[in-house]
Structure 1
């Protein structure tokens, strides 16, 4: 199965004129058409947990420029990269070295039981230890002036020797931010909620451009797990196209899909926070990054052309603001499953989840 693709252009053309929370007011056929498009977005997120979008504001050239710089960064020596490590900020800014983050499937007994029950042909690769990927976290957008969770809203970190860093990261980060906020608006409308039901909660939340770097020169053997089977703890995750295959996702029905992001498209995945806000109407999507035969073919081609053998993901995590309350919204509060999602401050939720996967670091704290 291919992940469905939605073109955001029709919504983008009219959304600036939408002052109300509902689309019916734009009139007759156009309103019905856009309501149908928003309904498709919410339906696909609910039924599958994954969606491809085309956003004219996000070009393949923008993505390439960003990946070029990140390949150069990840290719730097480990001791240089560790200068950007911020464990006291729970690795939510700066670099996370390989061997730090522990995949959820290694530490969550409920997930482990589900894995045992899965048919072998769709079962994920079982990691032997912490993830082998590096990751860089770059905050996009304003920080809250007043927050109980300063460590989750830290200043971005700029590595020495990269004068183009801030401009390149912000250029791509703000474009992906715009795309994911548009999807959040459309999903809210499709779910019968006010247009800003989700985006108002995202205001000044951590939007983290979070490219991973996986060293195919060092770990290019088929079956190597770079990111073990897990869900994302944020609201929605958006990915641009990577130069190397390897991302597998699981749809809500349990089907495993090897993702192929078409040129000019972005992949959206549901995270745990949208599951909370919809009382399980959406479920956080499971995924992994593994070296496959297709990864190895792409690496062999890159090696022949003397290109980088770092697999860089073009990923942005969109979070609900840390001081906002996570709880089922609107009619979702009447769901029979709502009691599974009690009201909880988003920052507390994130800290609990980070502790489980070994990212709630304390090194350097006084």
Structure 2
């Protein structure tokens, strides 16, 4: 699967009023590329000049220090009564959809053997931290989705780092949403108007690779797999290890490339 890489810079310049009229055709073609990729593959690589590898590295430094803490220390940020919508979700809580969804199990069985994903037999071996980003609605019937953030003790830079990196990711997603709408022939705000004051999540994930060596299946160590995504778009930034791949109904594709300043976006279909 050859995903297009879309540079958001031309669109950002046009939005700021810096683009020449002659560039309108180029912008329309760029928007068409975005909408076509999301429609055909559900995925897209974008480069945002407002983000840097330094920003991403700082974010990773902070979350790595958090996930290196003991399980008992991390559990102080656990909020099961809020359905884990803020704070930390410990390993062993989330269960892969492939364990309970008969239709998905049948799809996997029907795939060519060489493309079938390795499927773990138990719950996820990951910790995930849920951090709300962006403004909340003044009135809401869904308090669990708009609860106050949980801030770990001993990490004074946590809130600023999470808010800053989360805002950058949302900003990129909003631009992609506008470009996709234009590419589909809709009004520019067709998607972003639905995203306003939504329960946007920054959800860094970490696992103890030494502890979970026994989960290796062949040359793969499967830490989590196949979950329902209620989001209109999900964005992933560069990690410090390989392993993020794309799987459609038939083929397990190449790993998503590791590239500075790039976000990998995918659209939920579940």
Using the size of structure 1 for normalisation, the TM-score is 0.69
Whole-Å Cα distance in 2 between the matches of residues 61 and 134 of structure 1?
24
Which residue pairs with 1:4 in the alignment? 4
Which residue pairs with 1:197 in the alignment? 190
Which residue pairs with 2:239 in the alignment? 242
CA contact (8 A) 2:117 2:252 kept: no
Q: Pick from 156, 165, 177: which aligns with 1:163?
A: 156
CA contact (8 A) 1:41 1:186 kept: yes
CA contact (8 A) 1:90 1:152 kept: no
Q: Pick from 66, 70, 73: which aligns with 1:80?
A: 73
Q: Pick from 110, 113, 124: which aligns with 1:120?
A: 113
Q: Pick from 119, 127, 131: which aligns with 1:134?
A: 127
Deviation at 1:231, TM superposition (A): 4.5
The DSSP-based 3-state class of the residue aligned with 1:215 is coil
Structure with more contact order per residue of length (Cα contacts < 8 Å, sep ≥ 6): 2
The DSSP-based 3-state class of the residue aligned with 1:52 is strand
CA contact (8 A) 1:100 1:131 kept: yes
CA contact (8 A) 2:116 2:251 kept: no
1:206-253 Cα offsets, whole Å, 9 max, x none, are: 111100002112224443211113352211011110001111212476
Deviation at 1:254, TM superposition (A): 3.8
CA contact (8 A) 1:39 1:189 kept: yes
The DSSP-based 3-state class of the residue aligned with 2:225 is strand
Whole-Å Cα distance in 1 between the matches of residues 231 and 84 of structure 2?
15
Q: Pick from 56, 60, 78: which aligns with 2:49?
A: 56
The DSSP-based 3-state class of the residue aligned with 2:104 is helix
Which residue pairs with 2:14 in the alignment? 14
The DSSP-based 3-state class of the residue aligned with 1:176 is helix
Q: Pick from 253, 260, 264: which aligns with 1:263?
A: 260
Whole-Å Cα distance in 2 between the matches of residues 186 and 213 of structure 1?
32
The DSSP-based 3-state class of the residue aligned with 1:102 is coil
Residues 185 and 253 of structure 1: is their aligned pair in 2 closer, same or farther, counting only changes over 3 Å?
farther
Number of aligned positions between the proteins: 266
Whole-Å Cα distance in 2 between the matches of residues 250 and 128 of structure 1?
19
Whole-Å Cα distance in 1 between the matches of residues 258 and 36 of structure 2?
20
Which residue pairs with 1:175 in the alignment? 168
Q: Pick from 203, 220, 225: which aligns with 1:223?
A: 220
Deviation at 1:113, TM superposition (A): 1.2
1:33 aligns with 2:26: yes
Structure 1 residue ranges (4+ consecutive) displaced by more than 4 angstroms after TM superposition: none
CA contact (8 A) 1:48 1:252 kept: no
CA contact (8 A) 1:48 1:253 kept: no
The DSSP-based 3-state class of the residue aligned with 1:218 is coil
Residue segments in structure 1 that go unaligned for 5+ positions in a row: 19-25, 273-283, 285-366
Whole-Å Cα distance in 1 between the matches of residues 222 and 36 of structure 2?
31
Residue segments in structure 2 that go unaligned for 5+ positions in a row: none
The DSSP-based 3-state class of the residue aligned with 1:83 is helix
